[in-house]
């Protein structure tokens, strides 16, 4: 039976994941692709390789489990590519040599297929006199344009589409320039932007206090115009020169106004990210991968995979519809081991990345097709019942993955950076059930982190157009542009997976299932409620777009970010259709182009 039920899915496989050797087709069917991946990842098993190959193939078959795009494209091909989707690059040294060294490392990483994140906070603010040469610094935003040009150049060579994240501290003197960097269309189009927002800044906003913009004082003697602060690149708090002060609420208003008007920058609640980091005892995180679901230290790396929840619903659209929890748990266990094997099977662009990846053994197991699964169960996305069911699903996956990682550690050993006593003191680990914590104490654990909710845009299209990641169904039918191998674009008209299934089951080609809602039907509070329900069970982070209607008042829009912070999220990204960025995806009746930062071909999968 042909596993493809949509034209676009076959197109995605053929152009992105089908193995070709010297431009000659080596795989006749997607089944052969699954066999290739299963064989490559079972080859690193110390024992029973054929048994593990069969198990890996079984969860890949029929799109039950969707490894990240780099795994599907590269595993078993022998190509000099990485199987990791997500990287954060090393600290950018504040010198011309350091800047271009970091640029070079980014180019190498993207050339091999990785998406990259950078913290630009280490660079002198614009107009500050550079140490040693006396010249005035041009500021981090100006250097970001160099990275953008590099990414464009790599695209022109035929490499896969590049994706980058740039972050900046909320107290950097150039924060306002960063906020407005993408105000004009076409500027920094290969970057997603996020601001590192601290708890102290939120407190200053709520207290209507002043906010100091600072930068390390270099060789200057500490004086009245310096403050002691943690800063990237310094092992302990450093004296920072206060460049100027402004009202915290004014800066917050500028950040939110920019996001309201052109969908960027996003916000990272950076202190919460670090407080909840399982490797809190050895890492300081200042950046994420391009879509935000993987916060990482310098040279950190993570590989991804998503459980396709539509494949675990039994008797869909009936009164007896239910989720097969036993099958979901079994698949979670095998998928966790598969992703752990990716670490050993992968090449790495840089030795520093290999050291960090093998030292922490981070993986990012997530979900996709959630919205369709809920619809198939008779639940309306965003309802109280749907949130409860989703919470149970992610709890089951999280705890299953942790128990599996403990078992693998007992067999193969823990991740090298593991410090049992300090790991068990971690704030996230402390929330895990007692049997898991006892298991870690007794047997250690194989992976420092296990759960991430990625956007999964391309691989969700591959799986016959299920909704991506945690997102709701965008529309029952839509028109989607895709990137071809030669850089041109094609266009497909799509019907949502669950909608099509219901229409075929009940012979109603124009109708919609009971409980059908799409992204535009949901309030921002409903989007946030779904994201916040999952956050307690996600040790990495969540990529989620909070859709906001175009006519949504700015005063109400601002409250979305207050709510995101108060609900314990690690970050917040909103999207409101606007003249600069247009709409994310187009319905069949629409002809507005998708914004570059949100189109699926920009996602690092």
Q: Where are the beta strands (DSSP E) in 421-467?
A: none
Radius of gyration, alpha carbons of the chain: 23
Q: What is the CATH number of the domain that holds 127?
A: 3.20.70.20
Is residue 222 helix, strand or coil?
A: coil
Averaged pLDDT, 286-302: 97
Q: Is the pLDDT of residue 600 over 50?
A: no
Q: Is the pLDDT of residue 53 over 60?
A: yes
Averaged pLDDT, 453-465: 95
Q: Is the pLDDT of residue 548 over 80?
A: yes
Structure tokens at 482: 């895709």
Q: What is the pLDDT of residue 157?
A: 52
Structure tokens at 32: 């052969």
β-sheet bridge partners, residue 478 = 494, 587
**Which is it for the CA torsion 435, 441, 443, 444, positive or negative?**
positive
Q: Quick one: 317 and 386 in the same domain?
A: yes
Q: What angle do CA 517, 523, 529 make, to 5 degrees?
A: 95
Q: What is the pLDDT of residue 590?
A: 41
Measuring CA to CA, which residue among 312, 301, 428 is closest to residue 360? 301
Averaged pLDDT, 574-581: 82
Averaged pLDDT, 536-564: 96
Establish if 583 belongs to a structural domain: no
Q: Quick one: 252 and 332 in the same domain?
A: no
Number of H helices, E strands in the chain: 20, 22
Q: Is the peptide bond before 265 cis (omega within 30 degrees of 0)?
A: yes
79-121 tens-digit pLDDT: 989 999 999 999 999 999 999 999 999 999 998 888 999 999 9
Q: Quick one: 227 and 347 in the same domain?
A: no
- SS (HEC) of 301-340: EEEEEEEEHHHHEECCCCCCCEECHHHHHHHHHHHHHHHH
- How far apart (Å, rounded) are the C-alpha atoms in residues 257 and 545? 17
Q: Quick one: 334 and 271 in the same domain?
A: no
Q: Quick one: 66 and 146 in the same domain?
A: no
Report the percent of the chain where pLDDT is more than 90: 83
Q: Is the pLDDT of residue 499 over 90?
A: yes
Measuring CA to CA, which residue among 119, 79, 456, 440 is closest to residue 268? 119
Q: What is the pLDDT of residue 160?
A: 55
Q: What is the pLDDT of residue 274?
A: 98
Domains identified in the chain, total number: 2
Establish if 473 belongs to a structural domain: no
Q: Is the pLDDT of residue 32 over 60?
A: yes
Establish if 391 belongs to a structural domain: yes
β-strand pairing of 313-314 with 489-495? unpaired
Q: Quick one: 181 and 67 in the same domain?
A: no
133-147, 149-163, 331-345: least confident range: 149-163
Q: What is the pLDDT of residue 488?
A: 75
Establish if 425 belongs to a structural domain: yes
Establish if 492 belongs to a structural domain: no
β-strand pairing of 545-547 with 363-368? unpaired
Catalytic residues: 289, 291, 293
Q: Quick one: 158 and 233 in the same domain?
A: yes
Measuring CA to CA, which residue among 300, 343, 348, 297 is closest to residue 446? 343
387-438 tens-digit pLDDT: 999 999 999 999 999 999 999 999 999 999 999 999 999 999 999 999 999 9
**Which is it for the CA torsion 105, 167, 523, 320, positive or negative?**
positive
- How far apart (Å, rounded) are the C-alpha atoms in residues 167 and 256? 16
Q: Quick one: 340 and 241 in the same domain?
A: no
194-235 tens-digit pLDDT: 999 999 999 999 999 999 999 998 765 556 689 999 999 998
Q: Quick one: 317 and 391 in the same domain?
A: yes
154-202 tens-digit pLDDT: 875 554 556 899 999 999 999 999 999 999 888 999 999 999 999 999 9
378 Ramachandran zone, left/alpha/beta (phi>0; psi -120 to 50): left
Establish if 143 belongs to a structural domain: yes
Domain extent, residue 434, equals 30-83+301-368+379-443
In the DSSP assignment, the letter for residue 485 is: T
Averaged pLDDT, 558-565: 97
Averaged pLDDT, 460-482: 93
Establish if 72 belongs to a structural domain: yes
Question: Of 416, 443, 470, at which residue does a domain stop?
Answer: 443
Question: Of 415, 443, 471, at which residue does a domain stop?
Answer: 443
- How far apart (Å, rounded) are the C-alpha atoms in residues 503 and 516? 12
Q: Is the pLDDT of residue 596 over 60?
A: no
Averaged pLDDT, 378-382: 97
pLDDT band of residue 584 (cuts 50, 70, 90) is very low
Question: Of 443, 467, 488, at which residue does a domain stop?
Answer: 443
Distance of CA 148 to the CA centre of its chain: 20
Establish if 484 belongs to a structural domain: no
pLDDT band of residue 583 (cuts 50, 70, 90) is low
Q: Quick one: 68 and 156 in the same domain?
A: no
Report the percent of the chain where pLDDT is more than 70: 92
Of 213 and 135, more confident = 213
Q: Quick one: 96 and 70 in the same domain?
A: no
Q: Quick one: 356 and 386 in the same domain?
A: yes
Q: How many CB atoms sit inside 10 A of residue 180's CB?
A: 19
Mean pLDDT (the chain) is: 92
- Put simply, whether the predicted model's pTM sits higher than 0.75 gets the answer yes
Q: Is the pLDDT of residue 515 over 80?
A: yes
Distance of CA 436 to the CA centre of its chain: 26
């Amino acid at each position: 039976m042909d596993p493809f039920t949509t034209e676009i899915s076959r197109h995605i496989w053929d152009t992105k994941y089908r193995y070709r050797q010297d431009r000659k087709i080596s795989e006749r069917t997607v089944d052969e692709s699954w066999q290739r991946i299963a064989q490559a990842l079972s080859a690193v098993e110390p024992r029973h390789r054929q048994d593990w190959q069969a198990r890996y193939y079984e969860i890949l078959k029929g799109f039950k489990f969707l490894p990240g795009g780099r795994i599907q494209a590269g595993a078993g091909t022998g190509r000099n590519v990485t199987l990791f989707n997500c990287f954060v690059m090393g600290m950018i040294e504040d010198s011309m040599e350091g800047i271009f060294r970091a640029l070079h490392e980014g180019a190498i990483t993207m050339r091999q297929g990785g998406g990259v994140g950078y913290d630009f906070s280490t660079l002198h603010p614009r107009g500050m006199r550079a140490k040693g040469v006396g010249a005035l610094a041009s500021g981090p935003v100006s250097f970001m344009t160099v990275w953008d040009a590099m990414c464009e150049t790599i695209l022109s060579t035929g490499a896969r589409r590049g994706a980058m994240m740039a972050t900046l501290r909320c107290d950097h003197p150039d924060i306002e320039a960063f906020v407005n960097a993408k105000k004009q269309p076409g500027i920094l189009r290969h970057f997603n932007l996020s601001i590192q927002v601290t708890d102290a800044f939120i407190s200053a906003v709520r207290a209507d206090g002043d906010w100091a913009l600072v930068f390390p004082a270099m060789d200057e003697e500490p004086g009245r115009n310096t403050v002691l602060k943690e800063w990237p690149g310094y092992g302990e708090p450093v004296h920072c020169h206060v460049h100027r002060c402004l009202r915290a609420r004014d800066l917050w208003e500028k950040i939110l106004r920019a996001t309201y008007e052109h969908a960027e920058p996003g916000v990272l609640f950076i202190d919460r990210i670090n407080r909840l980091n399982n490797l809190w005892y050895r890492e300081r995180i200042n950046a994420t991968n391009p879509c935000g679901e993987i916060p990482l230290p310098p040279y950190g790396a993570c590989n991804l995979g998503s459980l396709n929840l539509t494949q675990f619903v039994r008797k869909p659209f009936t009164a007896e519809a239910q989720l097969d929890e036993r099958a979901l748990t079994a698949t979670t266990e095998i998928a966790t081991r598969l992703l752990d094997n990716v670490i050993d099977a992968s090449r790495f662009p840089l030795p520093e990345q290999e050291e960090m990846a093998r030292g922490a053994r981070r993986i990012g197991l997530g979900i996709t097709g959630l919205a369709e699964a809920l619809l198939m169960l008779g639940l309306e996305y965003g309802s109280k019942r749907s949130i409860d069911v989703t919470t149970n699903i992610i709890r089951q996956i999280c705890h299953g993955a942790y128990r599996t990682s403990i078992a693998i550690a007992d067999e193969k050993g823990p991740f090298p950076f593991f410090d049992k006593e300090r790991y068990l003191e971690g704030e996230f680990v402390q929330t895990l059930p007692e049997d898991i914590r006892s298991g870690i104490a007794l047997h250690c654990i194989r992976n420092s982190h296990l759960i991430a909710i990625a956007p999964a845009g391309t691989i969700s299209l591959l799986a016959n157009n299920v909704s991506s990641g945690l997102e709701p169904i965008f529309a029952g039918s839509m028109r989607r542009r895709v990137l071809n191998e030669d850089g041109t674009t094609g266009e497909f008209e799509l019907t949502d997976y669950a909608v099509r299934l219901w229409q075929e089951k009940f012979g109603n080609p124009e109708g919609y299932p009971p409980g059908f809602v799409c992204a535009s039907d949901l309030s921002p509070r409903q989007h946030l409620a779904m994201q916040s329900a999952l956050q307690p069970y996600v040790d990495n982070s969540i990529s989620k777009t909070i859709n906001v209607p175009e006519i949504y008042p700015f005063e109400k829009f601002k409250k979305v970010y207050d709510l995101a912070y108060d609900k314990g999220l690690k970050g917040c990204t909103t999207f409101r259709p606007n003249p600069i960025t247009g709409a994310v995806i187009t319905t069949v009746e629409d002809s507005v182009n998708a914004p570059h930062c949100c189109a699926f071909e920009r996602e690092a999968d």
